[in-house]
Amino acid sequence: MATRWGICSTGKISHDFSVALRTLNPEHHKIVAVAARDLQNAEEFAKKHNIPRAYGSYEELAKDQDIDVVYIGTIHTRHLSTGKLFIESKKNVLIEKPLAMNSREVQELITAARDNNVFLMEAVWSRFFPIYHEVRRLLSQGEVGDVQMVRAEFGLPVGHVHRMADRKLGGGGLVDLGIYPLQFAFMVFNGEKPESIEATGHCLDTGVDGTAVVVLKFSGNRLAVCTCSMTMELISDAVIIGTKGTIKLPHHMWCPTDLEVNGKKLQFPLPETDMPLNYVHSSGLRYEAEEVRRCLLEGLKESPEMPWAHSTLLTETTDEARRQLGVIYDQDKQ
């Protein structure tokens, strides 16, 4: 039986997610409804993606009894409210990253999911790419020995995009781009909480961070250096340095198709899609959808590969980095 999806919002990422779902077995995944705050937008999206039902409010989607899980692709500042709407309607949810605006909101979502006995996962799609699986396998087998340092970066010149630069819309490099290098480091270090967090960088006139460098120190003098920028284009690679060698994601570290292990190169190509995509390698969103289905079939409430503890750690880290940089959202004052 297919996992029946509802799509909440009709923005660019929801388009890409819907296209990515069609690269999977239709007997396993099916979009049955879409909702937007404007019915016309929902109807246009439904027509484009051949979705049976369109709703002009999120509340209508929450009442649909034929949905197994809702993908939430709203802007960051609405993740808490939309997430709780569906969770309290007993819907399983996959919420785009960041899971919420700060640690307080993340814990509110996790508590709601636990109280309502539903599945909740932050859509850090990177975690489910074949290369990330391979990295975890290599590390578990000691391919590069004991990890001493991780360096990861992600930077694109997107400061001109209104949503990215607007503090009231949850803009800023850390919560949008910095999540990827940070989650990579936490994955490598098995979700260990760092002993210290040191952040430096600069902010835009709008009050959000433009570029940030975050240094994490873990036990045993192990380090992670995570860089993000929305004012410049970085190489956007990642390197794991161990006592016996290195693992490199030479580019697109947040959605990689290439891997280098002690000089040996591996490739994991993505499937073709039936429509153009808005973001690079977005057909890879299919992998997180597969993880959601697997978890639902096994009766899990959180993903072992992106557990609530990792989302909590990720948000606590971005909260502290933002504090050091002086980035304050309205949600931090509540």
pLDDT digits (tens, 9 = 90+) for 243-273: 999 999 999 999 999 999 999 999 999 999 9
> What's the token pair of residue 278?
């808005």
Q: Are 92 and 29 in contact (CB under 8 A)?
A: no
**Residue type present at position 146:** D
Query: In degrees rounded to 5, what are phi and psi of residue 90?
Result: 65, 30
Share of the chain above pLDDT 90, in %: 99
- The runs of H, that is alpha helices, within the chain are 12-21, 39-49, 58-63, 79-87, 103-116, 130-140, 162-165, 173, 179-188, 285-297, 308-325
Share of the chain above pLDDT 70, in %: 100
Q: Please list, in sequence order, all residues whose beta carbon lies within 8 angstroms of the beta carbon of residue 166, skipping any fewer than 6 positions away.
A: 206, 208
> pTM of the entire structure?
0.97
Domains belonging to the chain, first-starting first, are: 3-124 (3.40.50.720), 130-267+306-332 (3.30.360.10)
Question: What is the average pLDDT value for the chain, to the nearest integer?
Answer: 98
The mean pLDDT of 130-140, rounded to a whole number, is 98
Taking residue 17's Cβ as centre, other Cβ atoms within 10 Å add up to 24
Query: In degrees rounded to 5, what are phi and psi of residue 150?
Result: -125, 135
> What pLDDT is recorded for position 334?
75
Local confidence band at 317 (pLDDT 50, 70, 90 cut-offs): very high
Distance CA 115, CA 105 (A): 15
